[in-house]
């Protein structure tokens, strides 16, 4: 300890630590960083570094000190958020679910929110009028309608004028009818692509001039099904995978303009996207009427009814708390160094890791166990019965 006290490098380390701590406190006041994070990731590593200098000697202790500070700086640099200020954000699909909750969340934080809704006179829009501040503006916005997208652009650009639009959150989407890919009509594939992909592309391309003005953020709400293959999500997953790939390409291309792009891959959350029982009855009826006779015979009507029962019970296994998704979108909008991909929710990141780093047979086995249903196509039940008889 005496050797440390008399060492010039030791005292230099002390001086740097003090300066470091003062800087941290200054940054805390200017950024939306939790004080606990500052203590753990800035001050504590610095103090541990000093302790290492005292116990390991000046040379090795200084290396540990610098390394710990570097790690904490990188970590906190990614968590530090920009001030909200007068930032304006457009959100599509704000009638219900994630878009509705996000509009209220960002409005409460002080953003100027443009909430695009499919029905400006619907209950979701009315609830936003009643519960949000006067900063929030409702826009009639069917993202598959090019005229409505253009009109929304003119209204937003008139309000933000020279400051530009800070963020666009492409949230609007549909689930369709989750069933085996062979059973889904081509109209379902086209509808999912039209809303989940082409609509988001249309909105992004239309509003990019306003994002360039502010060097803002483009955030695309994809899905866990957009990053990994999931049974019975062929139409939905394909459209979300297209959106995720679009996000990745735009992240690369728009970086030269100072625009940051992020994709959100939530796992199962209770948003109401699965629809109602009456809607499912209608879709199953249409599905059965349009299936070829041999396909209908092989699968059987009871198989489709089993799928309906399974998916109508899925919300019970989904998280009703949307805060992980809202926090991910907020980080994508305000972080100095936002991530290119966010995986909020239980199992989203783990499933992606298994798909990327494990053999495909292992991934298929795991997902098969997770997504299994009691329903089995009629032809397979017949084959199994014949095999047992033999």
Start-to-end C-alpha separation, the chain? 84
Containing 115, the helix (H) or strand (E) segment is strand 112-117
Residue 221 and residue 267 in contact, taking contact as beta carbons nearer than 8 Å: no
Which residue in 153, 233, 236, 342 is the catalytic one?
A: 236
Classify burial at 65, counting beta carbons within 10 Å of its beta carbon; exposed 0-12, middle 13-18, buried 19 or more: buried
DSSP state string for 150-189: HHHHHHHHHHHGGG---EEEE----------TTTS-HHHH
Helix %, strand %, coil % of the chain (to 5):
65, 10, 25
Question: Hey, what are 93's tokens?
Answer: 């699909």
| Distance from C-alpha of 328 to C-alpha of 285, rounded to nearest angstrom | 38
CA atoms within 13 A on the CB side of 358: 15
Say whether 26 is catalytic: no
**Residue 171: CB partners within 8 Å, gap ≥ 6?**
91, 92, 93, 94, 98, 99, 102, 221
β-pair type (167-170, 341-342): unpaired
**Residue 330: CB partners within 8 Å, gap ≥ 6?**
81, 105, 106, 109
- Burial of 238-276, coded b for 16+ CB within 10 Å and e otherwise, reads bbbbbbbebbeebbeebeeeebbbbbbbbbbbbbebbbe
Phi-psi region of 272 (alpha: psi -120 to 50; beta: other; left: phi over 0): left
113 in helix, strand or coil?
A: strand
Instruction: Give the number of other Cβ atoms within 10 Å of residue 93's Cβ.
Output: 30
* Positions marked active-site: 236
């Amino acid at each position: 300890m005496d050797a440390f006290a008399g060492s010039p490098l030791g005292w230099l380390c002390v001086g740097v630590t003090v300066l470091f701590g003062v800087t941290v406190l200054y940054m805390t006041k200017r950024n939306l960083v939790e004080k606990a994070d500052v203590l753990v990731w800035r001050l504590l590593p610095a103090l541990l570094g000093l302790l290492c200098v005292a116990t390991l000697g000046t040379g090795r202790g200084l290396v540990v000190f610098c390394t710990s500070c570097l790690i904490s700086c990188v970590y906190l640099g990614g968590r530090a958020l920009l001030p909200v200020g007068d930032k304006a954000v457009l959100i599509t699909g704000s009638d219900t679910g994630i878009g509705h909750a996000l509009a209220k969340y960002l409005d409460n934080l002080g953003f100027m929110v443009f909430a695009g809704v499919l029905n400006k006179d619907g209950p979701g829009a009315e609830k936003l009028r009643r519960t949000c501040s006067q900063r929030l503006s409702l826009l009639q916005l069917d993202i598959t309608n090019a005229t409505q997208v253009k009109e929304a652009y003119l209204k937003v650009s008139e309000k933000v004028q020279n400051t530009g639009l800070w963020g666009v959150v492409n949230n609007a989407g549909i689930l369709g009818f989750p069933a085996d890919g062979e059973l889904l009509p081509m109209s379902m594939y086209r509808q999912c692509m039209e809303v989940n992909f082409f609509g988001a592309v249309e909105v992004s391309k239309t509003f990019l001039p306003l994002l360039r003005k502010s060097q803002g953020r483009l955030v695309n709400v994809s899905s866990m099904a957009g990053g990994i293959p999931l049974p019975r999500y062929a139409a939905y997953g394909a459209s979300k995978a297209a959106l995720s790939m679009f996000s990745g390409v735009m992240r690369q291309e728009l970086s030269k303009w100072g625009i940051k792009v992020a994709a959100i891959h939530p796992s199962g959350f209770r948003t109401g996207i699965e629809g109602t029982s009456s809607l499912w009855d209608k879709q199953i009826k249409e599905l059965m009427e349009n299936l070829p006779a041999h396909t209908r015979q092989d699968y059987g009507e009871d198989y489709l009814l089993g799928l309906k029962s399974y998916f109508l019970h899925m919300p019970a296994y989904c998280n009703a708390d949307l805060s992980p998704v809202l926090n991910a979108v907020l980080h994508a909008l305000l972080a100095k160094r936002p991530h290119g991909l966010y995986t909020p929710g239980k199992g989203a990141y783990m499933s992606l890791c298994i798909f990327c780093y494990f053999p495909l047979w292992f991934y298929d086995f795991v997902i098969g166990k997770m997504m299994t249903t009691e329903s089995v196509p009629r032809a397979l039940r017949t084959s199994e019965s014949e095999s047992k008889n033999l």
